[in-house]
Amino acid sequence: MSPVHVVVDGSNIATEGRTMPSLRQLDDAVRQFQDEFPDAEPIVVVDATFGHRIDPAERKAFDEAVSHGEIVSPPAGAIGRGDAFVLRIAERVNGQVLSNDSFQEFLPEHEWLFDEGRLIGGKPVPGVGWIFTPRRPVRGARSRTEERRTAARGRDGRGAAQAASAGRRRGRSGVLEAVEAAAAEATEAAAVLADGQAGEKGEAGPAGPKGDRGL
């Protein structure tokens, strides 16, 4: 039986019920998820600042997990922080997402999150452990704003192409391919945004010297 890829929103799970993320909490959640769902193959994704926000005592273990490929993070300057990276990987491997986030600003681009079984929530219960349950994202003001923006600029077809090829990406090599592709897309998106902002500044033109204001 082929493994079921589950992309773990590590920053979200590590911060559930806390103000700062905990690597130990994240590790406990992933281990208990694997115990409950033996066929699951987790892909743990954290945002780029995760290593700086955890307890200093956990940083060595975090660095080792990153070096062994057990935890991945988006490239510097990626658009959408870790959330966009999580969703790009999940879409490419046709996997599930373990997160308590509703991803409101990304819903117009990732409608598949509303498909049954694609989004799973998790919460630690004292004396019991982690409880995992299927959930659906909640639409709100941010998602409606993004829907209007998406409709205005049109879809570029990228999501459809990714979904069409997702079924072919299985196994560990497919996961690595998906992570690398998501990183490349995130970097490209950041570059496009930077070029657009530079263009807008250029169109405005340099500020000229102030003329005589007169009396």
| 174 within a domain of the structure (yes/no) | yes
Residue with tokens 């004396």: 127
Sheet containing strand 119-125, edge to edge, reads: 71-72, 40-45, 4-9, 96-98, 119-125, 129-134
Instruction: Please report, for the domain that includes residue 86, its CATH number.
Output: 3.40.50.11980
**pLDDT grade, residue 148 (50/70/90)?**
very low
Helix, strand or coil, per DSSP, at residue 6: strand
Q: Does the pLDDT value for residue 187 go beyond 90?
A: no
Instruction: Tell me what the pLDDT averaged over the chain comes to.
Output: 78
**pLDDT grade, residue 79 (50/70/90)?**
low
Q: Does the pLDDT value for residue 210 go beyond 50?
A: no
Q: Does the pLDDT value for residue 108 go beyond 50?
A: yes
pTM over 0.75: no
Q: How far apart are CA 140 and CA 38, in angstroms?
A: 34
Q: Does the pLDDT value for residue 77 go beyond 50?
A: yes
| 39 within a domain of the structure (yes/no) | yes
Domain carrying residue 70 = 4-186
| 195 within a domain of the structure (yes/no) | no
Residue-by-residue DSSP string for 129-183: EEEEEE------HHHHHHHHHHHHH---SHHHHHHHHHTT--HHHHHHHHHHHHH
Of residues 185 and 214, more confidently modeled: 185
